[in-house]
Structure 1
């Protein structure tokens, strides 16, 4: 039933029809609609039908009392908004208290004062209407605050408690027990890292009457972290100062701001930094490099013929290619091993500049060869097929490289120079890299040429092995040989290892080349051992990369099996730097190699770590004294002392010793006096091709 703002519905409940008549008569007016009930049960029924604004309820009725009826009325959905006036002939304080306990709005005592009765009822109706309006407004405000995630708090400076709104408790995820909380309880909710900010602002408000406007994080009862915007004002009422504040949950806003910031600085497809962030990073990297006097390398990467992929397969496939390209470039930069020591990726930046253009920023890298290594790895990685849905796609890339400070000390110029170098590389056939510096281009073009030629050298039988004899001075006879690699280049002629070994190691070609040398040297040693003369020991060098290769033991076993060589005649020479990198793995590998029956030698002993612990624990057979200690052994007392110490150390440990790089009679005499018996060097023989060795041992 709808009612206008100026009309009311009245329900009179009394078992006395005379009282009901008098009440109805006293209230008779056109803006009042009056209903009657003669019992509590009837009152409950009529109440549900008419929804009165006020109930005049007699206390003493047969059956259900007025108190019980009031209690049940308040339990109904509409009962909370209705004014209920208890009418009683009783005038005992406990009856009045009971009336309020069961939910009565007011009470009247019989006999009623009829001239004032109408005015009293209308007053109660208006007062209840005002309360209802206030309640509705509070409900609306509470809902609005809930929607806006806005809480309210107030604190009297002289009180230990802070009064809080219901919504604030909800925002904090805690159960509302009271309207006020202690300061320390509030402080516990604030994120530990932000408590200092809140405490400083609160103290300033307390001691300096200074309002504040701050943001801080709060940890809800369920562990969720939210962000509050706390804005306050200080007011003074009746000589008392109070601080009032609003707490706005701005977590969603902050997350949106972070998301907007992310999209402003990152590429949404590849998740890499975009051009804007990359330029900021580049500026920072150059500033750091200037302070530390370091180099910075910039790689500008462009995919070759990428437009064809979009045109042929569609942009969705092109996007997948770009995503995988980003992942492969990042993996190429992250790789860290003996070839790229220092390039752990922590200071290196990969970005998508635009379209199919990517950049790599190499920081804290002073060796230009590292930039070459990364560039080649990127090219090798991108040359692998892209498996996308039902498509197998092949792409290549072209890279331009610019260096700070060699090519410029300006971000835009370096980016432009790298772009120029990239286009220069495209003019040279794509799928390669070029430096902006012409001098470096010449150097690395020659390096690339050697690497390309080296890849086919084994197939073309261009690699050859020379053998340098090792002599026993006491017996004056050859006791073994060291296999030394040479390259019969079709254009450049015979190349020594120092002209190509570094390139072989940097490109990884040293692994297949080393396996070939090992097999050929074993075959040659077996052939010499079958001639009826005495057997000769064959020493073969292992590079660090070859030594750390996972299939080394299998390679050695294979070389022994295909050659038929007695394992005791094979000696593998390993540098100190190679064996010291991972002690546990090295020990296991050396034990495995010794299990094949071969001998192990430390090459260039004294120039690396020279740790007595690995000499004690590793199954080593021979120490080779480095040529750097032999050169001035006659004239330099320190070199002589070092050489003698190494020889004595080997003797004390029961190891053989070989002096390398012996070139003069005086060196032989000095080393012999120190107790050295085995020699290798130009004084006895240079490295020889197989034909000359055959003549020497026949």
Structure 2
């Protein structure tokens, strides 16, 4: 059958020849080319052969129904451009929905109103022709945008999604329309140095409904950094504002500009920022630290004996040494070094620069622990003290490092640099190859802390300085000792007996609390085993778990091993956990508490009333005991509020079937009042101070 290619082609698909005849007659005056198919399979063949402009497709056919036929045609080449009207004798909503789900353009029900069919077909053909022309124009525009490296996008301010042209997808390294590009996705691939700037700009546009014209860098999926020029305008659609933008890849132009800027801001020998660039970075870092109320540190590094290298081996050798020294400093900062259990020291917010000659500066931002600065400084000294092999000769240098902190040692970059320089010269005067903090008081405090940490680490290694003291817990009814709380002490070789308040903070920040806690748990279980064998009234040995211990991955294993190794009855061991330790990671705390409870031991909430005091966890967690904090017990006799809190805790425990222990009971009046309130047990100097096991 020869078709007129200048006229529309309509394919009629129906297994009823009468219906096909009626349709042909109804359309013969307005449609030039009509072809027919009596089944879904034949319809697919006819479509592949003639690629019609419109298909009238019956839903109910044998073998392949209209839904399946429509779905197959849509998947064929050219299938997305044809208009498909599905026809059925059924008018159920689910059928109509299914028709549109498989790709139908329109839907008609039988009996067909034949006089109106021609008009409806004419309208659908005209609309489909308009869509084809728009698609053709869109393809031409996309081709032009691709040649010009220009993409377009639109945002309706209502969702995170952006409506992007194909070229935008290609710019970021994605296949066109592969995924939905959203604002969070765009911010994620933006260069970290430009991310805050872009986010601030976009949020400003959202708030003020105003356009912007900016440049920023993004990471292509290949890892390449490209620079985009983003120019926007505000339009309105039915009164609603929209942000329309064009993205232009200006990477080549920027590359030329950056090459020019490089010589102005970077040291060509070491590729590090020069003095001018570093001072700009320092001012920016101070401004950020001021906004975020954080600290930063400036290290002024001067190489010792460098002039000797230049004088003996020549300037070329000196240049080689400077490059290698710069790399060693970089590596000293960026290598991830496990300094404690579960704690890694790694600074990504660092700025290393060469000020000139043999002087370098290092900026450490967003400091959390000041002692980390001393660790990094020492690591730099250790790295630079290793031999250099220059022009086949082994040579040695060292370094003098001065350190200043913002805001403690200065509020401006000039002052911080001056003070770090002053501290560096102090090192030079004292013999070189060391570091010095500008603030002598801070330096002393930091040195004392580092020294104490080193001594504590040694104490853990030696195993003969840490001891447990035991404080009795007595029954409120008969006054008999029913348990003990194991309390940690450190027999320091020069400072004497230290309580946890003197060193527990260092133990937690350094990660030493994990091996210490493991040892204490085992020792307490050993002692409990001995007491239980001789004292029929002995009910429990209480052991504190720090938040770090409780949230440690192996805590269940540590507890299980302690019970197995000592053969202690699990019901004798009571673990005291603070409210904050539980609430800080509640999703993992709940199953862990139940696993601990399954071992058969007791669980107590320490310092109850000073934290969250959530009634929900008392209801849901397998808790046995509430410990009333000493801060409430101290004022229980003379302060009605403290008394009311203590009474409430005790009554709450009684109602929930929990026992109570009042901590810090020192006077008989406190004892009598708490006993009258119904407190189960007491602990404090009134009954006994913490004593060594002997």
Q: Identify the TM-score tier after normalising by the shorter chain.
A: 0.5 to 0.7
Cα drift, residue 252 of structure 1: 2.2
Residue 688 (structure 1) aligned with residue 664 (structure 2): no
2:491 matched residue in structure 1:
488
Cα drift, residue 448 of structure 1: 2.2
Find the aligned partners of 1:373 and 1:640 in 2 and give their Cα distance: 45
Query: Any residues of structure 2 matched to 1:60-459 within 5 Å, and which?
Result: 171-172=147-148, 252-261=252-261, 265=265, 275-287=275-287, 294=293, 296-300=295-299, 326=330, 329-330=333-334, 348-353=349-354, 357=360, 359-363=362-366, 370-373=369-372, 375-376=374-375, 400-421=402-423, 434-458=436-460, 459=462
Find the aligned partners of 2:579 and 2:466 in 1 and give their Cα distance: 27
Instruction: Please state whether the residue corresponding to 1:585 is helix, strand or coil.
Output: helix
Find the aligned partners of 2:149 and 2:618 in 1 and give their Cα distance: 66
Residue 663 (structure 1) aligned with residue 662 (structure 2): no
Find the aligned partners of 1:377 and 1:643 in 2 and give their Cα distance: 49
Contact 1:272 1:326 in 2 (8 A): no
Residues 531/334 of structure 1: CA separation in 2 closer, same or farther (3 Å cut):
closer
Find the aligned partners of 1:215 and 1:680 in 2 and give their Cα distance: 67
Find the aligned partners of 1:424 and 1:399 in 2 and give their Cα distance: 9
Find the aligned partners of 2:650 and 2:319 in 1 and give their Cα distance: 70
Find the aligned partners of 2:558 and 2:430 in 1 and give their Cα distance: 39
Residues 642/330 of structure 1: CA separation in 2 closer, same or farther (3 Å cut):
farther
Instruction: Please state whether the residue corresponding to 2:369 is helix, strand or coil.
Output: helix
Of 504, 507, 522, the match for 2:507: 504
Residues 584/169 of structure 1: CA separation in 2 closer, same or farther (3 Å cut):
closer
Cα drift, residue 660 of structure 1: 0.9
Cα drift, residue 460 of structure 1: 5.5
Residue 557 (structure 1) aligned with residue 560 (structure 2): yes
2:80 matched residue in structure 1:
none
Contact 1:647 1:674 in 2 (8 A): yes
2:678 matched residue in structure 1:
675
Find the aligned partners of 1:584 and 1:396 in 2 and give their Cα distance: 51
Cα drift, residue 434 of structure 1: 4.2
2:132 matched residue in structure 1:
none
Instruction: Please state whether the residue corresponding to 2:474 is helix, strand or coil.
Output: strand
Find the aligned partners of 1:635 and 1:172 in 2 and give their Cα distance: 83
Of 621, 625, 638, the match for 1:622: 625
Residues 661/215 of structure 1: CA separation in 2 closer, same or farther (3 Å cut):
closer
Cα drift, residue 278 of structure 1: 3.3
2:393 matched residue in structure 1:
none
Contact 2:146 2:167 in 1 (8 A): no
Find the aligned partners of 1:290 and 1:170 in 2 and give their Cα distance: 44
Cα drift, residue 472 of structure 1: 0.8
Contact 2:409 2:438 in 1 (8 A): yes
Contact 1:401 1:421 in 2 (8 A): yes
Residues 160-191 of structure 1 show CA distances to partners (whole Å, capped at 9, x for unaligned) of xxxxxxx99994389xxxxxxxxxxxx99999
Tell which structure's C-alpha radius of gyration is larger. 1
1:606 matched residue in structure 2:
609
Find the aligned partners of 1:336 and 1:493 in 2 and give their Cα distance: 26
Find the aligned partners of 1:613 and 1:510 in 2 and give their Cα distance: 30
Find the aligned partners of 2:425 and 2:616 in 1 and give their Cα distance: 54
Residues 598-630 of structure 1 show CA distances to partners (whole Å, capped at 9, x for unaligned) of 222211111122222332333222211111111
Contact 2:335 2:346 in 1 (8 A): no
Residues 556/357 of structure 1: CA separation in 2 closer, same or farther (3 Å cut):
farther
Residue 591 (structure 1) aligned with residue 594 (structure 2): yes
Q: How many residues align?
A: 455
1:474 matched residue in structure 2:
477
Residues 418/615 of structure 1: CA separation in 2 closer, same or farther (3 Å cut):
farther
Residues 380/496 of structure 1: CA separation in 2 closer, same or farther (3 Å cut):
farther
Contact 2:377 2:401 in 1 (8 A): no
Cα drift, residue 536 of structure 1: 4.0
2:544 matched residue in structure 1:
541
Contact 1:471 1:477 in 2 (8 A): yes
Contact 1:300 1:359 in 2 (8 A): yes
Runs of 5+ unmatched residues, structure 1: 1-166, 175-186, 194-213, 218-223, 231-247, 386-394, 692-698
Cα drift, residue 435 of structure 1: 2.5
Find the aligned partners of 1:229 and 1:258 in 2 and give their Cα distance: 19
